[in-house]
């Protein structure tokens, strides 16, 4: 049952009189009232019926079907709620009679409108169809939203006054960080409520943030005809619209830094955003290590990203001059970088960007002779003898070490300064690993590279190479080749020694049997053998 | 007929792939491409280029009615406008559409002096610039090729390009005024930027000598050549620098860049004996050896048994149990390519390696039949396009380069492709004609502009075609 008083409370001019003792209109006349309403619409209907006593009964049985008392009640109620003009047609006596009836029977003098519209919720559903508990819940939310809006406006006013500055020295207003934080929370709740109540699109993270109130975002609009449009998430589109606004003003501030972080978390490949981030860091003179630590976490989350490593490169470039005079600071940086590189390479052992950064770091911090660097390569090659990135880096740190290399010598050229003991050691290192997996190309090309660098003859490893080749000239079932790379190198060794016939045989066996997919290449090598001066002529 | 029904129903390569590209053309790319948002012009190039390769011009003798082109002439004009809208006021093109600013933001500029400092200059990007120029050439009609670069600010773009060159001769991707550091060339030490610089130079400038028509200051080509030549590694490959691991992408870029430095401007389709390329690479046999080594017999990973197979190595490519297992018949084997030693096969390296060898005139060093089989049977997706790895869904990058290498290997039904510019040769011819027109216009600069040519430009920009009445005026 709805609260009785609401619709029935007499509101006519006579209300000040003593409450009537007359019985309430007969409930029996409207049986629907006995059942509790299932939803808001039903409740409205019940209240509507209550504001029109005897009407339901009259519609059912007709006026003549009502008892005389009910007839009087029905007529009085109609007159009571009809307009003043209609009532004024009654004589004074009749009017008195009317109001007496109205008072005694506690008749309503105004009627509710039929079928009030309660609005639609975010799903387009008529709120009138809500059950009462749902409706109460919705009402509570609307009240809560209104309260939040009031507080939010108060915050806005406060900040506006604070921005205007103090009227006098003593009454200066300050908006505290706590208040800003409270407002942030408030707006998030408001956005949630608006979405729940009205299905309003959630305002973005930035639009909700009081910190960004003074920035007018510049949304990007996709033209009608364009190529390669990408379905952006809304959050990304919002962030870009703020980025446009701050980049246009060339703003550098902590909030811009946070904005770049926000965008990078959604799209870590955006080079402009990275450069803009660097601008902010340099402009605000932020601590190098803070940025580096942040970058570590981003790098681990985005293993394949390229820009992260370029950003790191730029940070080191900017930081290095500050520590250039302090060997201990350089050593500390080297150690912490090596530690991080070990972590990231454990996740992705051949990541090209990480390896490029690593070689840059070696040259920047002078780590060629660094024992940890060499040990790291040793262990990575132990873990995966086919990790060519580690082989390649090993070659670089050993043979580009300025302590024992000639500046300006190309990688493919012999270097007279390459120490023979190191060359011997590296030849041995490669050979030991070839035994582990003879068809692994990495140590073979490393071996050849070391021989060239050390100015050694390829033939100096002829014995070793021949270990992988059995019965070559037999061409029959006895021929066994454990490594095509061995046969390849052997061909070069024979050519070096001037034994074209044997070299040609190696190349033929490669093209005919052991490495047929490269037959075009092996045939070219054979042609190179034939001409005096060899390969230089063949390539033209 | 019944027996052949299955094969008859199989759509042609062109049909199948164009279906995929139609999808990329007509609908927004899925969110997975968000990471490429700042290189959107590259995505656009992959789409337009592939469609072009897959749509050969009808032979004049063909009486068959041609289907309407996938991109209509009206759309082509609108797309050209879209590309040109990315041009930066200080030269170059922007890569990120969503960071384009309205023209009014350049109001305070002195365009002659480029003062105050070019705002947002970090937005113009070297890759976006080359892809914009290539798309303009790809979208131009053959009978209007002269107009392909209408609207391109050639002089500013070339001057901007010079500023992207670093002391060591290498190129970066963009310019940014960093607080406390001044003008900074952004982007890593990356052979791709060096290659792109030579493409832009070849398209807009070529080898013009001072005093010649349309001369603009050149970048330091000798220093660039030295930088590239020095990035050869101990095993003959090329890397971002000689300190790094060689990589097929960089090898392609090095070879193509060196050959573009002295590529002739006219009749450039025919192979030219690039002096820089053929006489200055220190270890050419090593380079060829390294490139030829990138192909390997692709063995399908074993079907996963109930227990996890420890031998399945996702980092290195599969080797056979016995070497003699590699002697598979050439009619059944698959040949894939990796970008570095011991790495797994990836569609794009068919292009980077194959096209690099083609640039050296050595495309016969790859096992073309088996490579084609590998692409079509392992990398091609049933909805069209190519994926990165066997079984991967297609993406525009791998689909474009998978198609391009098939074209370089002479796949019937595809347009002939230029392996150092990565576009069909008909687009290369249009570039030559468009460049000629740009240089001619440069010559006319400072001369009184004829009313007719202004009207012509106006008519072209409004209607995209020569107004009929103009011939009368001109006559």
Assess whether the previous peptide bond of B116 is cis (omega < 30° from 0): yes
Q: Mutate which of B116, B183, B193, B244 to disrupt the A interface (most A C-beta within 10 Å)?
A: B244
Question: If you search the block for the tokens 């797994």, which residue do you land on?
Answer: B344
Q: Which element (helix H / strand E) includes B337?
A: strand B335-337
pLDDT recorded at residue B225: 97
- Give the 3-state secondary structure of A368-433: CCCHHHHHHHHHHHHHCCCCHHHHHHHHHHHHCCHHHCCCCCCCCCCCCCCCHHHHHHHHHHHHHH
Alpha carbon of B8: minimum distance to chain A alpha carbons (Å):
32
Phi-psi group of A3: left, alpha or beta (phi > 0 → left; psi -120 to 50 → alpha; rest → beta) = beta
**Prediction pTM value:** 0.83
pLDDT recorded at residue A79: 81
Put simply, the answer to whether B96 touches A272 (Cβ < 8 Å) is yes
Task: Tell me which residue in B81, B99, B335 faces A272 most closely, judged by beta carbons.
Answer: B99
Alpha carbon of A294: minimum distance to chain B alpha carbons (Å):
20
Q: Which residue of A has its CA nearest to B329?
A: A516
Alpha carbon of A2: minimum distance to chain B alpha carbons (Å):
53
Alpha carbon of B364: minimum distance to chain A alpha carbons (Å):
6
In the beta sheet, which residues pair with residue B249? Answer: none
Q: Which residue of A has its CA nearest to B296?
A: A517
Alpha carbons B386 and B379: distance in angstroms, whole number: 5
Put simply, the answer to whether B234 touches A250 (Cβ < 8 Å) is no
pLDDT recorded at residue B316: 82
10 Å CB burial of residue A105 (0-12, 13-18, 19+) is buried
Alpha carbons A340 and A294: distance in angstroms, whole number: 12
Tens of pLDDT, residues B218-242 = 999 999 999 999 999 999 999 998 8
Question: If you search the block for the tokens 């809560």, which residue do you land on?
Answer: A144
What is the DSSP pairing of strand B93-94 with strand B124-125? antiparallel
Put simply, the answer to whether B174 touches A272 (Cβ < 8 Å) is yes
Task: Tell me which residue in A225, A306, A411 faces B242 most closely, judged by beta carbons.
Answer: A411
Q: Mutate which of B235, B364, B366, B388 to disrupt the A interface (most A C-beta within 10 Å)?
A: B235
CB atoms within 10 A of CB A263: 23
pLDDT recorded at residue A1: 41
pLDDT recorded at residue A93: 86
Tens of pLDDT, residues A146-177 = 999 999 999 998 888 888 876 655 656 788 88
Low-confidence ranges of chain A (pLDDT < 50): 1-32, 533-540
Q: Which element (helix H / strand E) includes B178?
A: strand B174-178
Q: Which residue of B has its CA nearest to A511?
A: B327
- Residues in chain B within 8 Å Cβ distance of A441: 293, 341-342
- Residues in chain B within 8 Å Cβ distance of A244: 98-99, 101
pLDDT recorded at residue A22: 44
- Reply yes or no on whether the pLDDT at B317 is more than 90: no
Q: Mean pLDDT score of chain A, rounded to an integer?
A: 87
Put simply, the answer to whether B35 touches A448 (Cβ < 8 Å) is no
Tens of pLDDT, residues A350-393 = 999 999 999 999 999 999 999 999 999 999 999 999 999 999 99
pLDDT recorded at residue A534: 47
What is the DSSP pairing of strand B417-418 with strand B335-337? unpaired
Half-sphere exposure of B98 (CA within 13 A, CB side): 25
pLDDT recorded at residue A343: 96
In the beta sheet, which residues pair with residue B297? Answer: B335
Alpha carbon of A314: minimum distance to chain B alpha carbons (Å):
9
Mean pLDDT of B266-288: 91
Alpha carbon of A175: minimum distance to chain B alpha carbons (Å):
30
Closest CA to A237 of B37, B39, B23, B124: B37
> Contact, B437 vs B149, CB < 8 A?
yes
Put simply, the answer to whether A412 touches B236 (Cβ < 8 Å) is yes
Mean pLDDT of B422-434: 97
- Residues in chain A within 8 Å Cβ distance of B131: none
pLDDT recorded at residue A221: 86
Q: How many beta-carbon contacts under 8 Å exist across A and B? A: 260
Put simply, the answer to whether B179 touches A252 (Cβ < 8 Å) is yes
pLDDT-derived band at B138 (thresholds 50, 70, 90) equals very high
Task: Tell me which residue in A352, A484, A517 faces B323 most closely, judged by beta carbons.
Answer: A484
Q: Which of B115-119, B287-291, B460-464 has the highest mean pLDDT?
A: B287-291
Tens of pLDDT, residues B43-69 = 999 999 999 999 998 776 666 677 788
Task: Tell me which residue in B173, B295, B316 faces A517 most closely, judged by beta carbons.
Answer: B295
pLDDT recorded at residue B12: 87
Tens of pLDDT, residues B176-219 = 888 888 888 988 888 999 999 999 999 999 888 888 888 899 99
What is the DSSP pairing of strand B423-424 with strand B417-418? antiparallel
Q: Mean pLDDT score of chain B, rounded to an integer?
A: 86
Phi-psi group of A286: left, alpha or beta (phi > 0 → left; psi -120 to 50 → alpha; rest → beta) = beta
What the block records as the tokens of A324 is: 């250039």
Put simply, the answer to whether A282 touches B180 (Cβ < 8 Å) is yes
What do you get for the CA distance between the two ends of chain B, in Å?
A: 61
Put simply, the answer to whether A363 touches B78 (Cβ < 8 Å) is no
pLDDT-derived band at B5 (thresholds 50, 70, 90) equals very low
Closest CA to B334 of B387, B370, B292: B370
Alpha carbon of A440: minimum distance to chain B alpha carbons (Å):
8
Put simply, the answer to whether A516 touches B340 (Cβ < 8 Å) is no
pLDDT recorded at residue A12: 43
Task: Tell me which residue in B232, B243, B396 faces A412 most closely, judged by beta carbons.
Answer: B232
pLDDT recorded at residue B188: 85
């Amino acid at each position: 049952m709805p609260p009785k008083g609401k619709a029935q409370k007499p509101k006519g001019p006579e209300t000040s009189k003593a409450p009537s003792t007359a019985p309430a209109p007969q409930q029996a006349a409207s049986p629907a009232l006995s059942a509790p309403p299932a939803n808001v619409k039903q409740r409205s209907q019940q209240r509507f019926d209550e504001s029109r006593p005897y009407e339901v009964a009259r519609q059912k049985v007709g006026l003549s079907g009502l008892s005389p008392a009910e007839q009087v009640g029905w007529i009085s109620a109609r007159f009571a709620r009809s307009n003043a003009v209609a009532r004024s047609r009654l004589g004074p006596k009749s009017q008195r009679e009317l109001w007496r009836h109205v008072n005694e029977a506690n008749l309503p003098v105004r009627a509710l409108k039929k079928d009030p519209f309660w609005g639609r919720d975010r799903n387009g559903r008529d709120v009138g169809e809500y059950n009462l508990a749902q409706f109460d819940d919705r009402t509570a939310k609307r009240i809560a939203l209104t309260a939040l809006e009031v507080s939010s406006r108060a915050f806005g006013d406060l900040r506006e006054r604070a921005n205007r500055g103090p009227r006098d020295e003593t009454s200066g207003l300050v908006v505290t960080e706590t208040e800003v934080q409270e407002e942030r929370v408030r707006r998030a709740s408001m956005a949630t409520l608006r979405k729940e109540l009205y299905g309003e699109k959630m305002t973005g993270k930035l639009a909700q943030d009081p910190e960004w109130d003074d920035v007018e975002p510049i949304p990007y609009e996709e033209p009608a005809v364009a190529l390669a449009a990408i379905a952006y998430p809304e959050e990304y589109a919002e962030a870009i619209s703020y980025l446009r606004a701050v980049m246009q003003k060339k703003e550098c501030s902590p909030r811009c830094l946070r904005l770049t972080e926000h965008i990078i978390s959604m799209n870590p490949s955006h080079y402009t955003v990275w450069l803009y981030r660097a601008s902010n860091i340099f402009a605000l003179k932020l601590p190098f290590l803070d940025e580096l630590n942040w970058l570590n976490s981003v790098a681990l989350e985005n293993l394949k990203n390229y820009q992260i490593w370029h950003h790191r490169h730029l940070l080191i470039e900017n930081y290095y001059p500050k520590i250039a005079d302090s060997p201990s600071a350089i050593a500390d940086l080297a150690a912490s970088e090596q530690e991080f590189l070990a972590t990231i390479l454990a996740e992705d052992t051949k990541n090209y960007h990480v390896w490029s950064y690593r070689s840059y770091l070696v040259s920047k911090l002078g780590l060629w002779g660094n024992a940890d660097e060499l040990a790291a390569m040793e262990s990575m090659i132990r873990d995966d003898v086919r990790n060519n990135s580690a082989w390649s880096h090993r070659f670089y740190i050993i043979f580009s070490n300025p302590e024992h290399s000639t500046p300006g010598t190309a990688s493919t050229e012999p270097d007279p300064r390459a120490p023979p003991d190191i060359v011997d050691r590296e030849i041995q290192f490669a050979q030991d690993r070839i035994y582990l997996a003879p068809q692994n190309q990495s140590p073979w090309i490393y071996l050849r590279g070391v021989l060239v660098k050390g100015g050694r003859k390829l033939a100096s490893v002829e014995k070793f190479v021949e270990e992988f080749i059995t019965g070559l000239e037999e061409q029959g079932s006895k021929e066994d080749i454990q490594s095509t790379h061995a046969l390849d190198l052997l061909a070069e060794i024979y050519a070096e020694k001037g034994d074209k016939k044997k070299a040609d045989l190696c190349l033929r066996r490669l093209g005919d049997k052991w490495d047929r997919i490269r037959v075009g290449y092996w045939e070219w090598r054979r042609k190179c053998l034939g001409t005096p001066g060899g390969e230089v002529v063949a390539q033209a | 007929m019944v027996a052949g029904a299955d094969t008859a129903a199989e759509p042609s390569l062109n049909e199948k792939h164009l279906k995929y590209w139609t999808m990329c053309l007509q609908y927004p790319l899925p969110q997975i491409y968000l990471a490429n948002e700042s290189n959107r012009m590259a995505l656009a190039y992959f789409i337009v280029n592939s469609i072009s390769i897959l749509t050969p011009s009808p032979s004049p003798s063909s009486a068959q009615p041609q289907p309407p082109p996938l991109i209509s002439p009206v759309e082509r004009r609108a797309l050209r406008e879209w590309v040109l809208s990315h041009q930066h006021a200080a030269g170059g093109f922007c890569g990120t559409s969503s960071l384009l600013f309205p023209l009014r933001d350049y109001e305070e500029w002195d365009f002659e002096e480029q003062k105050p400092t070019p705002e947002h200059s970090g937005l113009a990007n070297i890759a976006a610039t080359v892809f914009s120029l290539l798309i303009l050439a790809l979208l131009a009609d053959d009978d209007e090729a002269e107009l392909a670069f209408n609207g391109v600010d050639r002089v500013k773009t070339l001057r901007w390009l010079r500023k992207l060159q670093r002391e060591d001769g290498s190129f970066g991707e963009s310019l940014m005024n960093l607080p406390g550091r001044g003008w900074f060339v952004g982007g890593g030490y990356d052979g791709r930027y060096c290659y792109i610089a030579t493409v832009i130079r070849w398209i807009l400038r070529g080898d013009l000598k001072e005093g010649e028509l349309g001369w603009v200051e050149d970048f330091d080509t000798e220093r660039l050549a030295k930088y590239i030549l020095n990035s050869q590694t101990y095993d003959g490959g090329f890397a971002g620098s000689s300190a790094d691991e060689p990589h097929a992408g960089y090898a392609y870029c090095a070879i193509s860049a060196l050959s573009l430095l002295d590529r002739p401007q006219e009749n450039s389709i025919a192979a030219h004996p690039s002096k820089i390329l053929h006489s200055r690479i220190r270890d050419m046999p090593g380079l060829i050896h390294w490139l030829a080594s990138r192909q390997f017999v692709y063995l399908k990973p074993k079907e996963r048994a109930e227990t996890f197979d420890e031998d399945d190595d996702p980092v290195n490519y599969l080797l056979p149990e016995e070497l003699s297992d590699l002697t598979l018949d050439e009619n059944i084997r698959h040949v894939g390519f990796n970008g570095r030693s011991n790495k797994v096969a990836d569609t794009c390296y068919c292009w980077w390696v194959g096209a690099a060898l083609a640039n050296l005139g050595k495309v016969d060093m790859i096992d073309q039949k088996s490579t084609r089989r590998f692409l079509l049977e392992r990398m091609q997706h049933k909805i069209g396009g190519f994926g990165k790895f066997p079984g991967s869904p297609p993406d525009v990058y791998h689909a474009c380069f998978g198609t391009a290498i098939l074209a370089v290997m002479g796949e019937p039904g595809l347009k002939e492709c230029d392996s150092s510019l990565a576009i069909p040769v008909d687009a290369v011819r249009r570039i030559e004609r468009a460049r000629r027109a740009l240089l001619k216009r440069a010559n006319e600069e400072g001369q009184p502009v004829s009313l007719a040519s202004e009207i012509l430009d106006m008519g072209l920009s409004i209607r995209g075609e020569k107004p009929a009445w103009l011939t009368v005026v001109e006559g």
